[in-house]
Amino acid sequence: MTNEILLRQQTGKAQGREIPLVGVIVIGRSEDVDLVLEDERASRRHAELRPDGDSWQIADLGATNKTFLNDAALKPNAPTSLHDGDVIRIGNTEFCFVAAQSIAPIPEANEPPTQVVPLKSALVVGRDSTCDIVLDEPQVSPQSSF
């Protein structure tokens, strides 16, 4: 896991990008903001994200088309707390707020899946479905203890 808090862009031209959140971030269409959107419905200075202790807040900066948090319009210049999984919409662009504790590294396509197993005095590994760790490979014995 990583300690980053980020925005994951869900729609728009840069769909899929992840923006790490550090310090105050102004979002809008203007070239002089921290996070520039190519979105004609976004104001030049549309919204602001800022840390608030261990959490984050978002504020609409008086944008013509408003800033939406989970489909509810924010009041202008009234900071609102963000929570993991919140959806932020600015113009036609949507972001998902991702808190640090929910971020797990995405395995490469050719990496095998990872299985987390609680530690105990002995583990049984093998093909049998009753094993602690099941390996679906014909060359693996039905059960082995470690």
At 132, is the pLDDT very low, low, confident or very high (cuts 50, 70, 90)? confident
Residue 131 CB-density burial (10 A; 0-12 exposed, 13-18 middle, 19+ buried): middle
**145: closest CA among 128, 126, 123?**
123
C-alpha dihedral over 62, 66, 70, 71, to 10 degrees?
Answer: 150
pLDDT digits (tens, 9 = 90+) for 90-131: 999 999 999 865 445 555 556 555 555 555 566 677 878 787
pLDDT digits (tens, 9 = 90+) for 35-58: 999 999 999 999 999 999 888 999
Q: How many CB atoms lie within 10 A of CB 110?
A: 5
pLDDT for the residue numbered 85: 92
* Backbone torsions φ then ψ of 78, nearest 5 degrees: -120, 100
Distance of alpha carbon 129 from the chain centroid:
34
pLDDT for the residue numbered 96: 95
Contact assessment for residue 94 and residue 11, using Cβ atoms and an 8 Å cutoff: yes
pLDDT for the residue numbered 97: 94
Distance CA 125, CA 16 (A): 38
Rg of the chain, C-alpha, whole Å:
22
Query: Taking the complete model, does pTM exceed 0.85, yes or no?
Result: no
Q: How many CB atoms lie within 10 A of CB 26?
A: 18
